[in-house]
Structure 1
Amino acid sequence: MSLLHSLHGSDYLPMLIPRQERMFIDEVMELVELSPLRDALVGLPGVSGLSTEQRKRLTIAVELVANPSIIFMDEPTSGLDARAAAIVMRAIRNTVDTGRTVVCTIHQPSIDIFESFDELFLMKRGGEEIYVGPLGRHSCELIRYFEATEDVRKIKDGYNPSTWMLEVTSATQEQMTGINFSQVYKNSELYRRNKNLIKELSTPPEGSSDLSFPTQYSQTFLTQSFACLWKQSLSYWRNPPYTAVKYFYTTVIALLFGTMFWGIGKKRHNQQDLFNAMGSMYSSVLFMGVQNSASVQPVVAVERTVFYRERAAHMYSPLPYALGQAIELPYIFVQSLIYGVLVYAMIGFEWTAVKFFWYLFFMYFTLAYFTFYGMMSVGLTPNYNVASVASTAFYALWNLFSGFITPRTRIPIWWRWYYWLSPIAWTLNGLVTSQFGDVTEKFDNGVRVSDFVESYFGYHHDFLWVVAVVVVSFALLFAFLFGLSIKLFNFQKR
């Protein structure tokens, strides 16, 4: 997504926002000095797009568009060089000058960064307060406070006040001088003034009511879902390598399988011809499905980091985000159409509207449940590498109990239950049954094709609709588990 779309939430939503509010977004971009980059792509951290300090300023801008009165920042200058840190601090200073309160955590800042702040809340190990008050010009108030304490060495000219402050209040210095800076603060006039101020501000005016909000999120569920869906559509549209590689791979596999199994859909001389046709279906499901699952995992893993931050900011709930992943469905449909038309024609399956529909139907929802399974595996695991290993284990089990290597009628009874849990088994059932389950022609040995399909594989043409419902259910199940996983699990280490 571009920087501007990150602030708007989507490319279409600004059309629903009043002109005055759109102008406010432009003002925010001016505030954090990002207007020249309004159309730049955000990209991936350390790979492409915005630099580190530009990303930090974008993060500030994303929070500012909600027009908050107070903003909390955790080490906004960490990982930046002096120039980049100065740019970020200038953006923060501009934010403060608009009348907002900005609270930052910061460790060992430079002189310029330290003196950009108005007030300081200093704590020692254990969370005890040492100093809470104004810094003053060139940190004069802070220096005056600590130098007034007996046995505290004076600051040298040109020395960083923050470094000096940390040195004189360290645990080692407290032991050497016998000074408890926490107790010194509690006995100071500054402490008493702060306590009185807290007491005054903590007393609500007469006639006021408790602050409350009718809902947890500022937008309705429908608006959240629409925004997430449109955001995902932009993300996919501006990630052509992901889609292009998928379609290229689909075309190559379709041509490969089509030429390898050329014309076998018309051959019905013996049972081996049927096994060959089923082998083409089995291979296509396994190759295409695993590829879809594996290719979507790194995409979801990268976007999950953004989701953690935006969920923490209460921009939207997990369910609308999960529903936004439905943007995959039209891309999967095109993929199924490319593969289905090429393979169906080259293999030579029977050209009837019903049979062709069923072939596309089962390929579409098979690719869909593999894609959602890949998303689910990322949602249930801490990172992409673990998700890849965990999902591969189930591919092997699904393959083993697919009904192709060993048909259901020949699987030992104590393992047959897993056959019903294998999505690939249901897909093969649907593909084979829709193509051959109603064929009344006979093999050379006199056995009717439909009878062999029923007796050997256990596939019944009358249950084709049941099989279709189950295959769709697998896609819905994996999509639901993905939404549930991102709602219940948070693998962010902070």
Structure 2
Amino acid sequence: MECVKRIAQSGRTVVCTIHQPSTVLFELFDKLLLLQSGGQMVYYGPLGLESVEMLEYFGQFRGLPPLQRGENPATYMLNCIGAGTNGPSVDVDFADSYTTSPLGAINASLIAASCAPTRPHAMTTLRTHDAVSFLRQVQLLTGRQWTMYWRSPTYNASRLALVVVLSAVFASLYCNSRIESVMDVVARMVLIFTGVVFISVSMMSTSIPYMAKFRGVYYRERMSSMYAPSSYAIALFVVELVYATVLATIYFNGWYWLVGLSTSPSAYLWFWLVLSLSMAMWSYIGHLLVFALPTFQVAVLLSSGLAALLFVFSGYMINGNTLSRGWRWMYAASPLHYTFEAILMTQFHGDNRLVANPLSSPVHMQPVEDFVGAFFAHSFDYANRFYDAMHLGVILVVIQLALLLCLAKVCHLER
């Protein structure tokens, strides 16, 4: 009951039933509403400390026995009005007595005052369907979403642990190694590729079960018209973007400086920016799958297939220039294509270190930048880095619009 009381004090409505309350539980309540058989009110007022005010009210009736030592006040009041195991103690119409009592008159006047209009013939009209403005909805929902994330340690702790473990693994694999041949350059590209793919897909796979828990709650609130779907989408976007950026910063700095990547501030910032966008984007893809598909299991299965498909058309495994015309649209649509191009081209841009190419005949020395460009048959270009960032931004907007459409129009509730 102390827990229920704290919930009520926070402004939430609590409806519960208590059968045969003990004296301690009964005296936790502030006020008592007592009805006799037939639904007639026989008492409404404060209980008082140790039920003293309720006992004083029933003590005014002649013939009613006083409360015995150790007797439960709840049992006593029921016996007084004849609702206990015995019949009524006195021949009194308690409902009529309450109506004509000073307590009944005070309560009646309070009811009349609360029912009276503040101004004669005043009518309340709302200019919009919503009780509060759109910005206020976004503010409140963002605060609630932030609290929900903060109160979900299993979700965020698992993501943080994954970030730390993957960072430590990649750092230990390439720690203090140097680039001396093209194989070392390929190893760095593999590191960037696997490092980005692993953490991005993990963000999607962890976001799906988390959002699935709250989908039913959202449906109930949407049907009650508590807020606009767009305000919910914006709140979810903002909070997830903050968490993804923080996780990307921790993950990225855990291994970047230990594996021999570029020390250029520009390359560092590009890597951090694109990785943050990628991690956030894959989380949003998980959100979209949860609200677009009927079940959590279907979302998980489709997410695996989607990740594999976008991986194939990223331009790393299959050169974009060698794809048949019928599949080039997938190469243009894959966000991994823009992610890798922006990161790889900024990492190795201006790298004039000469490395031996053992695959050439005869073996000759080649600048790292030239080798990376030739590795992708010049389908990746440093000049496209701003277009890559722009394309990632457009894909983010498309995902959010699709999510908003699902939030507003799609419902998978089963009656």
Is the shorter-chain TM-score for this pair beyond 0.5, marking a shared fold?
yes
Map of 2:166 onto structure 1: 253
Superposition TM-score, scaled by structure 2 size: 0.68
Decide which moves more: 463-472 or 364-373.
Answer: 463-472
Map of 2:108 onto structure 1: none
Map of 1:220 onto structure 2: 133
- Any idea what the Cα deviations from partners look like across 1:307-347, whole Å, max 9, x if unmatched? 11222222211011111112112221221111111121121
Map of 1:410 onto structure 2: 322
Query: Partner amino acid for 2:411?
Result: N
Q: In the alignment, is residue 317 of structure 1 matched against residue 287 of structure 2?
A: no
Map of 1:475 onto structure 2: 396
- Any idea what the Cα deviations from partners look like across 1:80-126, whole Å, max 9, x if unmatched? x9959xxxxxxxxx9xx8xxxxxxxxxxxxxx9x98799xxxxxxxx
The structure with more radius of gyration:
2
Map of 2:373 onto structure 1: 454
Is the alpha carbon distance of 1:321 and 1:423 closer, same or farther for their aligned partners in structure 2, counting shifts above 3 Å? same
Map of 2:262 onto structure 1: 350
Aligned length: 316
Query: Partner amino acid for 1:34?
Result: V
| C-alpha displacement of 1:370 | 0.5
- Take 1:461 and 1:225, find their aligned partners in 2: how far apart are those partners? 39
Query: Partner amino acid for 2:368?
Result: V
Percent of paired sites with the same residue: 23
Higher relative contact order (CA 8 A, sep 6+): 2
Q: Is the 8 A contact 1:297 1:378 kept in 2?
A: yes
- Any idea what the Cα deviations from partners look like across 1:107-156, whole Å, max 9, x if unmatched? xxxxx9x98799xxxxxxxxxxxxxxxxxxxxxxxxxxxxxxxxxxxxxx
Map of 2:196 onto structure 1: 285
> Any idea what SS the aligned residue of 2:412 has?
coil
Q: Is the 8 A contact 2:248 2:276 kept in 1?
A: yes
Is the alpha carbon distance of 1:422 and 1:34 closer, same or farther for their aligned partners in structure 2, counting shifts above 3 Å? same
Is the alpha carbon distance of 1:390 and 1:350 closer, same or farther for their aligned partners in structure 2, counting shifts above 3 Å? same
Q: Is the 8 A contact 1:369 1:476 kept in 2?
A: no
> Any idea what SS the aligned residue of 1:406 has?
coil
Is the alpha carbon distance of 1:415 and 1:263 closer, same or farther for their aligned partners in structure 2, counting shifts above 3 Å? farther
- Take 2:331 and 2:247, find their aligned partners in 1: how far apart are those partners? 27
- Take 1:370 and 1:233, find their aligned partners in 2: how far apart are those partners? 19
Is the alpha carbon distance of 1:344 and 1:83 closer, same or farther for their aligned partners in structure 2, counting shifts above 3 Å? same
| C-alpha displacement of 1:435 | 0.3
Q: Is the 8 A contact 1:311 1:318 kept in 2?
A: yes
Is the alpha carbon distance of 1:38 and 1:407 closer, same or farther for their aligned partners in structure 2, counting shifts above 3 Å? farther
Q: CA RMSD in A?
A: 3.3
| C-alpha displacement of 1:364 | 0.5
Map of 1:490 onto structure 2: 411
Map of 1:464 onto structure 2: 385
Is the alpha carbon distance of 1:117 and 1:303 closer, same or farther for their aligned partners in structure 2, counting shifts above 3 Å? farther
Q: Is the 8 A contact 2:179 2:355 kept in 1?
A: no
| C-alpha displacement of 1:38 | 5.2
Decide which moves more: 319-328 or 216-225.
Answer: 319-328
Q: Is the 8 A contact 1:437 1:453 kept in 2?
A: no
Alignment of 1:269-308 (within 5 A): 269-270=181-182, 272-308=183-219
Is the alpha carbon distance of 1:273 and 1:212 closer, same or farther for their aligned partners in structure 2, counting shifts above 3 Å? same
| C-alpha displacement of 1:253 | 0.5
- Take 1:39 and 1:208, find their aligned partners in 2: how far apart are those partners? 35
Map of 1:391 onto structure 2: 303
- Take 1:383 and 1:215, find their aligned partners in 2: how far apart are those partners? 34
> Any idea what SS the aligned residue of 1:414 has?
helix
- Take 1:116 and 1:366, find their aligned partners in 2: how far apart are those partners? 63
| C-alpha displacement of 1:212 | 5.6
- Take 1:219 and 1:411, find their aligned partners in 2: how far apart are those partners? 52
- Take 2:301 and 2:181, find their aligned partners in 1: how far apart are those partners? 42
Is the alpha carbon distance of 1:34 and 1:262 closer, same or farther for their aligned partners in structure 2, counting shifts above 3 Å? same
| C-alpha displacement of 1:39 | 8.4
Map of 2:4 onto structure 1: 34
- Any idea what the Cα deviations from partners look like across 1:57-89, whole Å, max 9, x if unmatched? 96x55xxxxxxxxxxxxxx99xxx9959xxxxx
Long gaps (5+) in structure 2: 21-29, 42-119, 357-363
- Take 1:213 and 1:322, find their aligned partners in 2: how far apart are those partners? 24
